[in-house]
Amino acid sequence: MTTAAALARLIAFYETLTPATLGQIAHIYAADARFKDPFNDIQGHAAITRVFEHMYTQLLEPRFVVFERVAHGGQAFLTWEMRFRFRRWPGVPQVIRGATHVRFDGAGLVVEHRDYWDAAEELYEKLPLVGGVMRWLKRRANR
C-alpha cells in the first residue's frame, strides 16, 4: 500500500471514529504500534483502544477534523482539530489543535503515532479552577 493510500485510510478512520468503530484499530495500526501523546506512551492494539475508550467516557461527541497532510517515504504529518464538549460543562464546545507524525510499515499499517499539542494551552487553561492558575503562570512566564 502506498503512503498516500495508508494516510487516506488513517484520516478516514479518525474523521469517522465512534465507539462502534474502535474495533477497526487492528486494521489501521500494526500489532506492536507505538502511540504517544501528552498523556500516553503506549504500545499495541489493546492499549490504543483503551485510550479512545477512555476518551469516549470523559468527553461528549469528540471528533477529529484533519486540515493539512504531508506524506513522504513511509511517513506523514497531519494538522487537525479535536472538537468535543466536557461532560461536566456540556454547553461549551471545545477545540484542541494539534499535529501528528505517523510512520507506516510496508502493509500500510501505522507503526508509530506521535501527537503534538500543548496540553496547558489547549486543555488545562480551559478548565474552571486549573485554567486560572495556568493563565496566571503563562502571564508570569511571559514577563
Report pLDDT digits (tens) over 18-61. Answer: 999 999 999 999 999 999 999 899 999 999 999 999 999 999 99
93-100 mean pLDDT? 93
Burial 110-140 (b: 16+ CB within 10 A, else e): bbbbebebeeeebbebbeeeeeeebeeeeee
Grid coordinates belonging to 97: 489543535
Whole-prediction pTM value?
Answer: 0.85
Delineate the domains of the chain, giving CATH numbers in brackets.
Answer: 3-117 (3.10.450.50)
